[in-house]
Structure 1
Amino acid sequence: MVVRNKAAKITRSDATRRVVTYRSGHFTGYVASRKSSTVVQYESILERDFIYLLETDRDVLWFSEQPAPLKFSDGIAHHTWTLDFEIERSSGRYLVEVKPLSKVKKYRLDVIYGFARAAAKASGYQNLELWTDRELKALPRLPNAEILVGSDTTYHDPAYDLALLSTIAEIAKVSERTTVRELRSLSRLGPLSYRAVMRQIAIGGLIPADSTVFLGDDAILLIPGGGGF
């Protein structure tokens, strides 16, 4: 069983545009990203939530916010846009914009994004994706992502990691599957056991058997290399 416990080195954001402000009424901030090895900035709640989803998406290899501007024409005017994110998946590179669905409908943004999408593909991207709060708030992806990112970035006691890893190793001798409840019970870590299990999921030591199931006590987890066969 291979478990990645080494802390990632986090550096400053290399975004082309700074969006974090401390003005009243502006929801901005940073998320420490293991995948991009930087502190990623956001300028809305939706962008922060999207970062959480990227951090916990196994198909996402790397991502960055505020990438190089994209130039395109809608047949009438020329535009230079800085999209919200650039993502590298196993299938290639993508540009992503995150907007409230109400704004997309009100200003018919799907039309102009069609022109931007064509320019993105011509520039070598696989696609330009437009995400709205409708997709981001779909349960249980976001609640799981919030739990995992929080468990990975907050302080943790290595002694709890060791106790849980010992429990996982014992279970792995006979089975490749376990549950959150079983790990919490056998590890005897008490109230902190849930966070310890979530941290192991966040760093790849455990894998949810079904990503659509909320990570409660009944969630089934896979142990990489487990089974004893």
Structure 2
Amino acid sequence: MNAPFVHIKKRAAKVGRRRVRITRGKPSAYIGSGFVPSVLAGDKGQCIWFEGGLEREMLVQLNTDPDIVNIDGHAPPLRWTDGLYWHEFRPQYVVQRRNGLKSIVAIQWGAVVLKYGLREILGLIEPFARAQGYDRIELWTDSQIRNPVRIANSNLLHSVGSEEFEPALLERILQCAHKLGRATTIGEIRQNMGPQEQLFRAVAKLIWSTKLVADDPGRLIDNKLGVTALTLLKNNGQVK
């Protein structure tokens, strides 16, 4: 085995899933591994495997992302070559987005990414992923996953996702947003509708259900966030 192959193999071992998934109901020999139930309608309540705290944190955020309809934690291994030897890459998660994009989600500590040049390794893997029907590979590090804005938005959407609101209130919010037009802010919707109990959380519920679309998904969900009614986007042909 020559030196370049050892180098590539060592680096490639730092991406993707490295352990064999443990069958549900059997104890894990690894601290910090287990299952998280999916709340996505497309997953029909299945439990998704995670390895370590960072994967679990990302899984919770994927579960509350309004753009994601399905999370697959059982994707088969993907074979790829560095030009000399073949390797096996095991996706941690595969997510299906509302626009039909199918992405592999790779999760790793930022320090490990820098030390082993994992962006370069994933760049070698991506053409083989595309050939297998994936659209892209997304690399997420701890600094991105633990971004305070992502955490705050995830916690809010997670809490309102299971909360019940009066259908009439939700409909009035949508009518108001439609009337105000594109890129209206949550604050403007609240101002036009006047003081109402739980109005802000009801708006968040509509973002969670994608009936309101955030203009900048990476921004904090607050009164300054711009949102657009999904009906307006459909009328303009921006979504199907």
Q: Residue by residue, what CA displacement relative to the aligned partner does 1:86-122 show, whole Å, maximum 9, x if unpaired?
A: 2345474332321111222334444544443343234
The gaps in structure 2 that reach 5 residues or longer are 1-19, 233-240
Is residue 2:40 matched to residue 1:33? yes
- Please list, as runs of the form range in 1=range in 2, the aligned pairs for 1:86-101 lying within 5 A after superposition: 86-89=94-97, 90=99, 92-101=101-110
Is residue 2:222 matched to residue 1:216? yes
Aligned AA (2:71): F
Deviates more, 1:88-97 or 1:202-211: 88-97
Equivalent in the alignment of 1:140: 149
Equivalent in the alignment of 1:125: 134
Q: Distance in 1 between matches of 2:178 and 2:118?
A: 54
Q: Per the alignment, do residues 92 and 76 of structure 1 end up closer, same or farther by CA in structure 2, a change over 3 Å counting?
A: same
- Alignment partner of 2:91 out of 63, 71, 83: 83
Equivalent in the alignment of 1:66: 74
Equivalent in the alignment of 1:8: none
- SS of the residue 1:68 aligns to: coil
The gaps in structure 1 that reach 5 residues or longer are 1-15
Is residue 2:206 matched to residue 1:200? yes
Q: Distance in 2 between matches of 1:24 and 1:122?
A: 34
Q: Distance in 2 between matches of 1:65 and 1:167?
A: 36
- Report the CA distance between 1:26 and its aligned residue: 0.7
Q: Distance in 2 between matches of 1:96 and 1:110?
A: 13
Is residue 2:125 matched to residue 1:116? yes
Q: Per the alignment, do residues 182 and 71 of structure 1 end up closer, same or farther by CA in structure 2, a change over 3 Å counting?
A: same
Q: Distance in 2 between matches of 1:162 and 1:27?
A: 43
Deviates more, 1:97-106 or 1:133-142: 133-142
Q: Distance in 2 between matches of 1:181 and 1:108?
A: 44
- Please list, as runs of the form range in 1=range in 2, the aligned pairs for 1:141-220 lying within 5 A after superposition: 141-152=150-161, 154=162, 156-159=163-166, 161-169=167-175, 171-172=176-177, 174-176=179-181, 178-184=184-190, 186=193, 188-190=195-197, 192-220=198-226
Aligned AA (1:196): A
Instruction: Provide the aligned C-alpha RMSD in A.
Output: 3.6
Are the counterparts in 2 of residues 63 and 86 from structure 1 also a CA contact under 8 Å? Answer: yes
- Report the CA distance between 1:206 and its aligned residue: 1.7
Deviates more, 1:62-71 or 1:26-35: 26-35
Q: Residue by residue, what CA displacement relative to the aligned partner does 1:25-72 show, whole Å, maximum 9, x if unpaired?
A: 4164414223544435233443344342475253x5543123111223
TM-score, scaled to structure 2: 0.64
Higher helix share: 2
Are the counterparts in 1 of residues 177 and 189 from structure 2 also a CA contact under 8 Å? Answer: no
Q: Per the alignment, do residues 19 and 131 of structure 1 end up closer, same or farther by CA in structure 2, a change over 3 Å counting?
A: farther
Q: Distance in 2 between matches of 1:94 and 1:19?
A: 25
Q: Residue by residue, what CA displacement relative to the aligned partner does 1:1-46 show, whole Å, maximum 9, x if unpaired?
A: xxxxxxxxxxxxxxx9448767784164414223544435233443
TM-score, scaled to structure 1: 0.67
